[in-house]
């Protein structure tokens, strides 16, 4: 499977140049190579082959945001009908849209964990401060009391690290992935079959 890429621009009907579209070209022998052979669902509902998915997603990450995407699949061993093109387009769009929904669900779950972690962390910090003040007041030696108090307070701040990590760092890569999958779920998909002579020679015994 090969995947060269090219950028093309097409004029619109009003004469104004449309945004340039970057197309990924995949070369496979047969269309079924694009789909997961272990998935028993019909083609329109079948998952993409992991290798094909990796190619497409990695390529999409390299294209600037806002630039239209396109996928051109060249078949080396079979012809392509309009029905095949429609089926492939529907399958690719459905797959990446479903992936986008699953990614956003993962993001919502991450925020839920972050909120719960934040509540637990703040509660633990408050308890640590109260307990630290109490123990510091019990200890007659001011130095030991200060050490215990500061140790508990530091432990309370450490408990806030996880929610801080979620809300500062963990969420935006997932959101970027969802936006990329949205773009892939809307890209133009074309299917180009092999020349008739190639198909005929491949079907010969």
pLDDT at 204: 47
User: CB neighbours (10 Å) of residue 187?
Assistant: 21
Is the pLDDT reported for residue 96 higher than 80?
A: yes
Each residue's pLDDT tens digit, 22-67: 999 999 888 888 888 776 666 666 788 888 899 999 999 999 988 8
DSSP states of 71-136 as a string?
EEEEESSS---HHHHHHHHHHHHHHHHHHHHHHHHHHHHHHHHHHHHHHHHHHHHHHHHHHHHHHH
Q: What is the CA radius of gyration of the chain?
A: 28
pTM above 0.85, yes or no: no
Residue 199 has pLDDT above 60, yes or no: no
Angle between helices 142-158 and 82-138 in degrees, nearest 10? 170
Token pair listed for 76:
């080396």
- 60 within 8 A of 184, measured Cβ to Cβ: yes
Nearest-angstrom CA–CA distance, 12 and 24: 21
% pLDDT > 70, the chain: 80
Model confidence over 105-142: pLDDT tens digits? 999 999 999 999 999 999 999 999 898 888 877 876 65
- What count of other Cβ atoms lies within 10 Å of the Cβ of residue 135? 15
């Amino acid at each position: 499977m090969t995947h060269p890429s090219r950028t093309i621009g097409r004029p619109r009907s009003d004469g104004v140049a449309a945004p340039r579209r970057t197309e990924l070209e995949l070369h496979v022998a047969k269309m079924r190579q694009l789909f997961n052979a272990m998935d028993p669902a019909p083609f329109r509902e079948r998952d993409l082959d992991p290798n094909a998915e990796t190619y497409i997603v990695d390529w999409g990450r390299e294209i600037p945001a806002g630039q239209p995407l396109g996928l051109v699949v060249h078949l080396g061993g079979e012809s392509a009908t309009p029905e095949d093109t429609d089926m492939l387009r529907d399958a690719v769009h459905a797959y990446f849209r479903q992936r986008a929904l699953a990614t956003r669900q993962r993001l919502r779950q991450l925020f839920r964990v972050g909120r719960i972690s934040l509540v637990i962390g703040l509660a633990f910090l408050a308890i640590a401060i109260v307990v630290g003040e109490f123990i510091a007041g019990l200890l007659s030696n001011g130095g030991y009391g200060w050490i215990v108090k500061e140790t508990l307070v530091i432990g309370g701040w450490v408990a806030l690290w996880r929610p801080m990590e979620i809300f500062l760092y963990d969420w935006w890569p997932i959101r970027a992935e969802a936006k990329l999958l949205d773009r892939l779920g809307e890209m133009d998909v074309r299917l180009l079959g092999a020349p008739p002579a190639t198909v005929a020679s491949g079907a010969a015994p």
